[in-house]
């Protein structure tokens, strides 16, 4: 049975899927292309996507890529919530309520966006706790559209504080046949897609990740 969604709102799980398709467009398009179409009426909820990628014939690599993309998307949305850029709402018999920004910095917020359910007194840990009050979570469609459309067209520079992460990523992809393919693989990672990675930044990281003798380095980019 489908959950009721008020006009003008989007369930948080659908918001994650929509934001992932926008922020990680190339990766998500590739994932959607191989996602099993097991239902006659496609569901864009996170649970439906998880079920699709959990089917036995889906390779582990694709399943891991989907989970990684969803995790990075939820984390970015959570940062926006903490900053007060937009709000997550739930409805009770007393009306519409929203979760305060500070909530998203607490351990209690872990997994809340992904589950799409808010448990005011904590999620149940025993079968007899299942009757605790719980409420579906929504975001306003206009807020989500604004967040996505407000993302700058130009990528921001990679902070120097993330150089160690860049080095680790280069090392993890050191099996690529050349530096050009290695750089492209790193650029497409969710952690780096939103940054403009310059040649200078790559060269700095590459000095800490030597290649085997005889391998060709990539040509300088314009």
Q: Is the dihedral of CA 11, 17, 21, 23 positive or negative?
A: positive
Q: What is the pLDDT of residues 106-159, one digit of tens each?
A: 999 999 999 999 998 877 776 665 677 899 999 999 999 988 886 554 567 888
The token duo for 72 is 């990075």
Q: What is the DSSP string of 29-85?
A: HHHHHHS---SSS---SHHHHHHHHTSTTS-HHHHHHHHHHHHHHHHHHHHHHHTTS
* Residue with tokens 């009770």, as numbered in its chain: 92
Maximal C-alpha separation, the chain: 70
Delimit the domains of the chain by residue range: 9-149, 156-206
Query: Would the pTM of this model clear 0.85, i.e. be above it?
Result: no
Q: What is the C-alpha to C-alpha distance for residues 176 and 185, in angstroms, rounded to an integer?
A: 9
pLDDT of residue 118: 94
Q: What mean pLDDT is predicted for residues 170-180?
A: 90
195-196 and 156-157 strand pairing:
parallel
Give strand pairing partners of 149.
none
Question: What φ, ψ does residue 118 adopt, rounded to 5°?
Answer: -110, 125
Number of residues in the chain: 222
Q: Provide Rg for the chain, Cα atoms.
A: 21
Q: What is the C-alpha to C-alpha distance for residues 37 and 145, in angstroms, rounded to an integer?
A: 27
Question: According to the 3-state scheme, what is the secondary structure of 4-18?
Answer: CCCCCEEEHHHHHHH
Q: What is the pLDDT of residues 10-60, one digit of tens each?
A: 999 989 988 888 888 777 676 666 555 544 334 454 555 555 545 555 556
């Amino acid at each position: 049975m489908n959950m009721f969604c008020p006009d003008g709102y989007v369930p948080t799980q659908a918001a994650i899927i929509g934001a992932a398709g926008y922020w990680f467009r190339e990766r998500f398009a590739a994932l959607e292309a191989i996602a099993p179409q097991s239902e006659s009426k496609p569901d864009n909820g996170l649970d439906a996507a998880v079920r699709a990628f959990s089917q036995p014939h889906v390779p582990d690599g694709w399943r891991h890529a989907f989970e990684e993309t969803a995790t990075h998307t939820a984390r970015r949305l959570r940062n926006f919530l903490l900053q007060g850029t937009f709000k997550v709402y739930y409805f009770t018999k007393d009306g519409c309520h929203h979760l305060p920004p500070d909530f998203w910095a607490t351990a209690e917020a872990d997994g809340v966006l992904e589950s799409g359910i808010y448990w005011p007194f904590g999620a149940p840990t025993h079968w007899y706790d299942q009757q605790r009050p719980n409420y579906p979570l929504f975001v306003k469609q206009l807020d989500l559209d604004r967040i996505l459309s407000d993302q700058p067209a130009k990528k921001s520079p990679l902070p120097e504080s993330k150089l160690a992460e860049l080095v680790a990523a280069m090392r993890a992809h050191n099996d690529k046949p050349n530096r050009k393919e290695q750089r492209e693989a790193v650029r497409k990672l969710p952690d780096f897609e939103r940054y403009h990675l310059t040649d200078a930044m790559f060269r700095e990281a590459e000095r800490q990740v030597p290649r085997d003798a005889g391998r060709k380095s990539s040509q300088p980019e314009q």
